[in-house]
Structure 1
């Protein structure tokens, strides 16, 4: 999303509650039509990296690395294109959302150069996650 078109916003913040270690080449996630999602304090969502970058509604995302689950500490709006940082380190940008587990949680897909897992990045529970410009 473009702040010049959509207006300014505050960062969404959260904390890792579980780190994941697996990756898949055949996951079959389906990109939802939404360019943004509102998230509430205390919701938990899954963070998933992908080197696929097609933002077309319905695009199939097979190559993924699972980072972990984040609990939202400061709700707001997460937009496609938002930068994602963990513990101050830039991970990638929000590609979109897969809703296969919704309403339990969204898979927040993060565009990266190569798929990585939470273990690959030495992530730990309680690290701060931020979404923003």
Structure 2
């Protein structure tokens, strides 16, 4: 994410529709080169954690934990670097996307310190998920928005 190219955006809300319980050590996902994906209300995407957080676009992602599938509640843009919240808990940040199941769904790869699954986070169906823009380093969200408003 380039802070000089990205403007403010709204959070993308979602709801867990199925909890997944497994992890893999040699999954073979590929980190897409795209830094963002537009999502529509009603789409369902898979949430996958990985500790391979330094991986560049095109890299093979093997160590993964499956959280579940989430239905997007409101259209928006999910960017690499967005924070992923489940309820009031910050789970990790969007590392990128794997399109091996597209157009059925994307795997949203979430960078975490330790690979976790749905049960590890005590996920339940109907849990609220939110993809939120990370604040710019050293700038509070309120300052970021007021600077934006002044430059219009």
TM-score tier after normalising by the smaller chain length: over 0.9
Structure 1, unaligned stretches of length 5 or more? none
The structure whose residues are more often strand, as a share, is: 1
Distance 2:56 2:113 in 1: 19
Structure 2, unaligned stretches of length 5 or more? 134-152
Q: CA RMSD in A?
A: 1.0
Say whether 1:120 aligns with 2:120.
yes
Structure ID, larger Rg: 2
Match of 1:102 in 2: 102
Aligned length: 133
Say whether 1:131 aligns with 2:117.
no
Match of 2:47 in 1: 47
For the residue of structure 1 that corresponds to 2:121, the secondary structure is coil
The structure whose residues are more often helix, as a share, is: 2
| Contact map agreement 1:86 1:128 (CA 8 A) in 2 | yes
| Contact map agreement 1:31 1:58 (CA 8 A) in 2 | yes
Match of 2:93 in 1: 93
Distance 1:71 1:63 in 2: 24
TM-score between the two structures when normalised by the length of structure 1: 0.97
Distance 2:85 2:39 in 1: 17
Shift of 1:2: 4.4
Aligned pairs (5 A) from 1:1-133: 1-133=1-133
Distance 2:33 2:54 in 1: 12
- Structure of higher RCO (CA pairs closer than 8 Å, 6+ residues apart): 1
TM-score between the two structures when normalised by the length of structure 2: 0.85
